[in-house]
Chains A and B, each alone.
Chain A
């Protein structure tokens, strides 16, 4: 309570309120432009904050960070242009909603889900920081390996209808993820002697090419069928049924986000991937996912925004940045002579709590800022395609280039975009590729590290409760998929047969499920 009062006192000063608003405003604006994500924005604004008081500066940079996470979903929903992997998950159901003329509702629900997720994240952050630090410390390589393996199994349902094609895409993603210097041996993998490839292939160019560029090529080919978009406050409101469908997924998503956020390396992207897969599994209507299911939008959005908030815990309380963006935040503090780490909260309570309270205020600002903007964003879709598409292509190129000021990134984006288009023509969906690309390097890295620490003994992976538990869950999940599917088919086939005997017009042979039963 005392801490909250201290924090509010700090956060409610005029300059901190202004900084917070400026931060979330810039963050939203920049987040809307795909590719130019929070990291680039923070790096650009960093020098500006040197002149400010450290608290004010950090409040502003943090506002940019979570503001960008809000804004990032806009381009994903409207144009299928994800700037981050977590946004790529937003594309899966957000973009189909926009294509069906419901872009305004999708954006509205995203804003609400982001607010709910962010708020839950902040509550967890203010109440449980010491516990979160302990959880983060308890995660070693064996635990990470088990957790990521579990995620891998859990997300196996994301993608198109054909499991074989999905599996092929995951494998391609995993292979792309191996490019670069192997950190264990220093061996170059698939770099072809290029300096550019030493650090591996960039995530943003891959995501933007795979989703954005390939979508544009698809649309051009499909011709000019389009929906007229009109927005009013009433039309953007979700229906009562949509609210009911989204409420629980939002809460579950936020809780998953709170869990993954503080784990270094995983963060918002894994949180979004897992909550999406989770909702698809729990849903009574899994077939609607990928075609505009509103809970497929609400859950990952709540999740990544919760994760963005709790990601501050290890950064501030351990001095360990979970993401490159958080590394910049640490740098920003260090330039002011403040070193985040175990002593940070006790030495700088007014900064820590002021920052946490500014997150609340910032989230309210974002809510107030984003809802009126929905009409403006959606009206962009009414721009004629001959003007809109070239502008998007330019945006994608600029976005890819701006990550590292690298032309090679633009080339990668183009190659991946064209390849993504060809693959989609043949029914291979992009999401599994991206998931393989994000998760498999983590899986490999942690597996090999665990093997080094366990001196080559595989039972090391079972040595802690967390890792053993996650591995058992993953095993059960595989079993349920492998054994469950034929079982379901057999039951379905048996029912069909029963009906067939009742009604002689229907024969077994017309049922694909029945044909497979011995």
Chain B
């Protein structure tokens, strides 16, 4: 009974508050984007570029707050439980919203607990080899790895990461036996990749672009349906006979479920103009990314659901379970 009264009063207060707020234009104060990873990582860099653009559009500061831990689950859980007033947002990633929920109990529902705003960046997986590997093209690599006895290694930043899943998919599709060598994060893997102890590496473009440009690694194929402007000479996986081998990571902005429509619309508008901004384009390209804005929050929601079920299917493979 008491609960009901409290609930009712709270509801009433909220309604009154919302009515009061409707008079003022959202946003009235600084908006926070929670990045569920530590500062300086790829997610953080993307979040800061997006935040910088949104500050200009919204006329209020957009602040990035890093809440690392639990592979992104700590920060994501925090936003899932935050006040849905449009002032606390989350930089959602493939990790927090597509992959982790399929691997473990993360403490939040990636779909039900969040209102989508828009995707910001979609990075496709690039297949590279160390120059010591005798394969100039993806076809040659497939022939080499599928006939061998499994003398080749591939690296990943851990179980269930994009690089790991890509490697297992490659093994399955080509009948190869690349051996998985996990690392504590993609940065740690790079040293052995560049030194040639790891022969094949499949990860998002930003993680490896600089090494491809310097010639330290040889790019063979891009796991996307079309070629990237960043590497126009690299064929897609479909072109080299790996149809359906399309995957990557996404980074987008979501709000806690129940955020007022007005705020969602306003935030989506602020993000949509990123695709016309030369500055955003330049800054993202420098880190090996391209802008990808959703047409509407609903389209982003649909994309998130698709990605979640795609990953759930892929991860239903014993290689990713204990």
Which A residues have a C-beta under 8 Å from some C-beta of B? 42-43, 46-47, 50, 136-141, 181, 183-187, 195-196, 198-199, 264-265, 314, 318-321, 324, 327-332, 334-335, 337-343, 404-406, 445, 449, 452-453, 455
Contacts and interface: CB of A to CB of B under 8 A. Distances in A.
Given A329-B40, A341-B211, A343-B214, A183 B158 contact: yes
Contacts of B69: 195-196, 198-199, 404, 406
Interface of B: 38-41, 44-45, 48-49, 52, 64, 66-71, 73-74, 77, 103, 106-107, 153, 158-160, 179-184, 187-188, 190-192, 194-195, 197, 209-211, 213-214, 216, 282-283, 286-288, 320-322
B45 A320 contact: no
Contact of B40 (A314, A327, A343): A327
B210 A343 contact: yes
B40 A140 contact: no
Contacts of B211: 319, 341-342
Given A186-B322, A343-B214, A334 B45 contact: yes
B210 A339 contact: yes
B214 A342 contact: yes
A196 B75 CA distance: 11
Contact of B210 (A42, A47, A342): A342
A106 B70 CA distance: 40
Contact of B160 (A186, A318, A329): A186
Given A327-B40, A331-B39, A343-B214, A183 B182 contact: yes
Contact of A453 (B38, B39, B153, B288): B153
Contacts of B73: 195, 198
A341 B64 CA distance: 26
B64 A185 contact: no
The 3 closest A-B pairs by CB, nearest first: A331-B40, A328-B40, A186-B159
Contacts of B77: 195
A321 B186 CA distance: 10
B183 A331 contact: no
Contacts of B64: 47
A137 B194 contact: yes
Nearest to B49: A335
A404 B182 contact: no
A264 B159 CA distance: 21
A43 B191 contact: no
A321 B182 CA distance: 17
B181 A452 contact: yes
B40 A318 contact: no
Given A187-B322, A199-B69, A335 B45 contact: yes
B41 A319 contact: no
B165 to A, nearest CB: 12
Contacts of B209: 339
Contacts of A406: 69, 74
26 contacts: A46-B39, A136-B191, A141-B192, A185-B322, A186-B320, A195-B106, A198-B70, A198-B71, A264-B188, A324-B38, A327-B41, A327-B187, A331-B39, A331-B41, A331-B45, A335-B48, A335-B49, A337-B282, A337-B283, A337-B287, A339-B288, A340-B210, A341-B210, A404-B74, A445-B184, A452-B179
A141 B193 CA distance: 12
Given A140-B197, A181-B159, A334-B45, 4 more contacts: A331-B40, A335-B49, A339-B210, A341-B211
A227 B159 CA distance: 55
B201 to A, nearest CB: 14
B202 to A, nearest CB: 17
Nearest to A337: B286
A337 B209 CA distance: 13
A140 B196 CA distance: 10
Contacts of A195: 69-70, 73-74, 77, 106-107
Contacts of B180: 452
A139 B40 CA distance: 25
A199 B72 CA distance: 10
Contacts of B41: 327, 331
A155 to B, nearest CB: 22
A321 to B, nearest CB: 5
A321 B181 contact: no
A42 B40 CA distance: 10
A183 B184 contact: yes
